[in-house]
Amino acid sequence: MNSSTCRLVQAGEKFEGKQGLTYAVGISAESVGAKHVHLQLATIPPGARAKAHLHMEHETAIYQLSGVSGCWYGEQMEHHVIVNAGDFFYIPAGVPHIPYNVSADEACVAVIARTDPNEQESVTMRPDLDALPDWANAAAKSK
């Protein structure tokens, strides 16, 4: 694929990533021949959460378009943040995280940029962190 020219692309077909969220890829190695960036839409259905994961060598930047999400992060999921529509959220390379949708009836949609041009290759699953104790109640208390 020739990446020496500008390209207009539409979001690709939605698919479920191994983290358990729904994605629609825009800019990637596969769609435009990108070498250092990946841009996609991510949707978290009402009440849903991702599986614990990290991106070992790649930074992630998120812009929340709609809805309210929460994210547990850290080596033992000891940190928590609420991300509202209009907020930006940064995840450094190698930081385990579990994003989730706070709402029981509204989907969250976010634009996600990552320094890996390939969608799922840098995802490292962390099933040892999926059993976060009482994560939903703890999230409600931290608002």
Tens digit of each residue's pLDDT, the chain (143 residues): 555 899 999 999 998 888 888 899 999 999 999 999 999 999 999 999 999 999 989 999 999 999 999 999 999 999 999 999 999 999 999 999 999 999 999 999 999 999 988 866 778 999 999 886 555 555 554 44
Which superfamily is assigned to 15-119 in CATH? Jelly Rolls (2.60.120.10)
pLDDT in the model for residue 81: 96
Domain boundaries, the chain: 15-119
- 56's CB contacts (< 8 A; 6+ apart) are 93, 94, 122, 124
pTM beyond cutoff 0.75: yes
